[in-house]
C-alpha cells in the first residue's frame, strides 16, 4: 500500500494534484510528456481517502497510474452520501478524461454522469450493474471466496468456539464478506466435526449486526465489544473506518481477542493494529483501478465487468505477519487446499452477493 498523500484543497472537498506552473512532473518526462494534459480523477465514498481500507487502496491505484503514465490527478473526497452528485459534477467540470468512483453507493451519481457525458470514461469499484453502460467499467471482487478462507482460519484459531462479524451498511459489497466468512466457518465445522459459532451474521436469514455507517469508529468499537462480551475471540469487521473500532476493541483485550481485516493488508494500512491481525481479506482494487485508468490512456477501454477472484489474484488472504509462527503448518496447507478447491469448483460458495460477469 502506498502512503496516502493529501492534495491541495480547492473549492471545498475537491483536491488537485498537479505540478506547479513552469515545471514538468518527473513522471511526464518518463512518459515523454504525451499524457501531460490527461486528467485521471477519483471520487471517494464517505469513508474518505485515508480510511485504511477500500478508498485508500483504490486511490493508490490512481496514484500508480498517474505516476506511470505522467497524468494529472484530480480527486474529490466525499464527507457524506450527499456529496456524491456534487463531487461527480465537479469532476466533469474539471474536464476529466476518466473518473473512478469508489464504492457501490456512488452508482446512481456515476450512472447519471456517464449518461450525460458519453465522451468521458468511468469506472466504479464494487459495482455490478443490471445492464452494461457503454462508458462505465464496473470493477467487482468476489471476496466471498477469500472470506471463506478467512472464516475457516478464524474457526481454526478460535479458542472460545465463537467468532464474530459485523458490517457498516447492509449492502452486497459488505454482506459478501460476511457470507463467505460464515460459509467458511461452517465448512470448518463439517470438516473437523466442530461447532464453532458465528455471532453477528446469519447468512441464511441475511440478518446481523451493522453500525449503520462506515465512519463512526466508536460505533464499531461498541459493536465489536458486544460480540466480545458474547464470547467471540476473533472479530471480522466489514465497516471501513468504523471497522477500525473493532480492531481497537481487540487490541484493548490484551491478547484475548484478535481480528481479521478486510479490503487491504491491515498490517500495511493500519500497522498500529498488526499485533492483533491474524490476516486480512485483500481486494486488488489498486491494480484494477490502475488497469482501468491505463486502458483509457492507451485507448483500450472496454465496459466489460471485471471480477477479481482467487484465480486471477484479484482477492486473497494477506500474509500472517506477527501470527505466522502461531498459525499451524497444517492449517496453512488446508487454506491452500481450500483456495485450490474454490478455484476448481470443488467447493462452491452460495452467497448471492457474488458479482456476476455482465
**pLDDT 10s digits, 117-171:** 999 999 999 987 778 899 999 999 999 999 999 999 999 999 999 999 999 999 9
Strand partners, 163: 198, 234
> How far are the Cα atoms of 46, 80, 235, 252, 336 from residue 215, in angstroms, in the given order?
7, 9, 18, 20, 34
| Cα 126 to Cα 121: distance, rounded to the nearest angstrom | 17
Phi, psi of 330 (to 5 degrees): -60, -40
Domain limits, the chain: 8-142+285-308, 143-282+315-344
Sign of the alpha-carbon dihedral angle for 120, 124, 128, 130: negative
Q: DSSP for 76-108, please give it.
A: E--SSTTHHHHHHHHHHHTT-SEEEEESGGGHH
| Cα 40 to Cα 235: distance, rounded to the nearest angstrom | 37
Domain at 143-282+315-344: CATH code: 3.40.50.2300
pLDDT at 18: 33
**pLDDT 10s digits, 158-188:** 999 999 999 999 999 999 999 999 999 999 9
Stated length of the chain: 358
Looking from the CA of 123 toward its CB, the CA atoms found within 13 Å total 32
The gap between the terminal CA atoms of the chain, to the nearest Å, is 29
Find the helix or strand (DSSP H, E) in which 74 lies. Answer: strand 72-76
pLDDT at 358: 62
| Cα 126 to Cα 209: distance, rounded to the nearest angstrom | 21
Strand partners, 197: 162
The CATH fold of domain 8-142+285-308: Rossmann fold (3.40.50)
pLDDT at 28: 36
Topology alike, domains 8-142+285-308 and 143-282+315-344? yes
Find the helix or strand (DSSP H, E) in which 41 lies. Answer: strand 39-43
| Cα 157 to Cα 258: distance, rounded to the nearest angstrom | 10
pLDDT at 29: 34
> How far are the Cα atoms of 150, 234, 280, 303, 322 from residue 256, in angstroms, in the given order?
19, 9, 19, 47, 15
Tracing cell 482467487 back to the chain, one arrives at 310
Average pLDDT, whole number, for the chain?
90
Looking from the CA of 126 toward its CB, the CA atoms found within 13 Å total 24
Looking from the CA of 129 toward its CB, the CA atoms found within 13 Å total 21
As to burial, measured by CB atoms within 10 angstroms (0-12 exposed, 13-18 middle, 19+ buried), residue 347 is middle
Question: What is the pLDDT tens value at each position of the chain, 358 positions in all?
Answer: 333 233 323 333 344 433 333 323 333 334 446 788 999 999 999 888 988 888 999 999 999 999 999 999 999 999 999 999 999 999 999 999 999 999 989 999 999 999 999 999 999 999 877 788 999 999 999 999 999 999 999 999 999 999 999 999 999 999 999 999 999 999 999 999 999 999 999 999 999 999 999 889 999 999 999 999 999 999 999 998 899 999 999 999 999 999 999 999 999 999 999 999 999 999 999 999 999 999 999 999 999 999 999 999 999 999 999 999 999 999 999 999 999 999 999 999 999 999 887 6
* pTM listed for this prediction: 0.84
pLDDT at 33: 66
**39-43 and 98-102 beta bridge pairing:** parallel
Amino acid at each position: 500500500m502506498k502512503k496516502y498523500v493529501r492534495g491541495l484543497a480547492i473549492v471545498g472537498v475537491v483536491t488537485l494534484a498537479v505540478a506547479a506552473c513552469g515545471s514538468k512532473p518527473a513522471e511526464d518526462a518518463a512518459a515523454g510528456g504525451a499524457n501531460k494534459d490527461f486528467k485521471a480523477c477519483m471520487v471517494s465514498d464517505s469513508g474518505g481517502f485515508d480510511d485504511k481500507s477500500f478508498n485508500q487502496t483504490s486511490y493508490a491505484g490512481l496514484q500508480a497510474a498517474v505516476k506511470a503514465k505522467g497524468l494529472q490527478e484530480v480527486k474529490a473526497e466525499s464527507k457524506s452520501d450527499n456529496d456524491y452528485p456534487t463531487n461527480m459534477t465537479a469532476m466533469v467540470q474539471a474536464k476529466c478524461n476518466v473518473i473512478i468512483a469508489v464504492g457501490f453507493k456512488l452508482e446512481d451519481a456515476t450512472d447519471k454522469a456517464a449518461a450525460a457525458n458519453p465522451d468521458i470514461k468511468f469506472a466504479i469499484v464494487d459495482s455490478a450493474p443490471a445492464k452494461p453502460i457503454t462508458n462505465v467499467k464496473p470493477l467487482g471482487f468476489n471476496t466471498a471466496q477469500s472470506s471463506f478462507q478467512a472464516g475457516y482460519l478464524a474457526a481454526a484459531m478460535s479458542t472460545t468456539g465463537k467468532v464474530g462479524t459485523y458490517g457498516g451498511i447492509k449492502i452486497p459489497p459488505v454482506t459478501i464478506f460476511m457470507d463467505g466468512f460464515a460459509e467458511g466457518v461452517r465448512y470448518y465445522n463439517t470438516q473437523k466435526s466442530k461447532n464453532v459459532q458465528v455471532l453477528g451474521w446469519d447468512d441464511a436469514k441475511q440478518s446481523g449486526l451493522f453500525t449503520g455507517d462506515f465512519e463512526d469508529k466508536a460505533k464499531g468499537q461498541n459493536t465489536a465489544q458486544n460480540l466480545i462480551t458474547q464470547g467471540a475471540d476473533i472479530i471480522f469487521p466489514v465497516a471501513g473506518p468504523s471497522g477500525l473500532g473493532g480492531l481497537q476493541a481487540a487490541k484493548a483485550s490484551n491478547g484475548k481477542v484478535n481480528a481479521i481485516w478486510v479490503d487491504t493488508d491491515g498490517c500495511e494500512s493500519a500497522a498500529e493494529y498488526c499485533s492483533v491481525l491474524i490476516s486480512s481479506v485483500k481486494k486488488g482494487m489498486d491494480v484494477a483501478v490502475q488497469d482501468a485508468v491505463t486502458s483509457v490512456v492507451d485507448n483500450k477501454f472496454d465496459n466489460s465487468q471485471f471480477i477479481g477472484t482467487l484465480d486471477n489474484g484479484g482477492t486473497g488472504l494477506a500474509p500472517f505477519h506477527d501470527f505466522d509462527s502461531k498459525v499451524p503448518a497444517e492449517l496453512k496447507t488446508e487454506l491452500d487446499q481450500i483456495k485450490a478447491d474454490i478455484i476448481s469448483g470443488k467447493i462452491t460458495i452460495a452467497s448471492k452477493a457474488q458479482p456476476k460477469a455482465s
